[in-house]
Amino acid sequence: MFARRVSVHLKPNTAVMFTEKMENEVLPLLRKHPGFQDEITFLSQDGTKAFGISLWDRKESAEAYISDTYPAVQKILASVIEGSPSVGSYNVSSSTFHKIASTGTV
C-alpha cells in the first residue's frame, strides 16, 4: 500500500468550507480513481492548517492520480488554501484499519 500526505495552510475562516469541499467535491473524485483505498483528513484546532493522507493500492495508482486528477483537486481547494501544498509520498508499513502487517522494508 502507498500513501500521499498533503499539508495546506487555510485562508482565515475557511475551515468549514474546506471540510465541505473535501466531502462533497474532492472525495467523490478520489473514489472514482482506480486504486484509491481511503482518505483521512485532519484539521488543526484553530482551523488554520489541514492535512490529508490518501491511501492507494500501489505507487503507480497514486502517480496516475497525481497527473490525472490532482490538478482538479487543486482548483477545487484554491479558494480556501493559501500558498502551495506540501506533498510527501510514503510506503505504508502497517495499518490496523487496513490489516497491513509490517513488511520490514524501509
Structural domains in the chain?
2-91 (3.30.70.100)
pTM of the model: 0.86
- Taking each helix axis from N to C end, the angle separating 70-77 and 59-68, rounded to the nearest 10 degrees, works out to 60
The predicted pLDDT at position 94 comes to 84
Strand partners, 38: 55
pLDDT tens sequence for the chain (106 residues): 999 999 999 999 999 999 999 999 999 999 999 999 999 999 999 999 999 999 999 999 999 999 999 999 999 999 999 999 999 999 998 877 766 554 544 4
CB 82 within 8 A of CB 9: yes
The predicted pLDDT at position 21 comes to 97
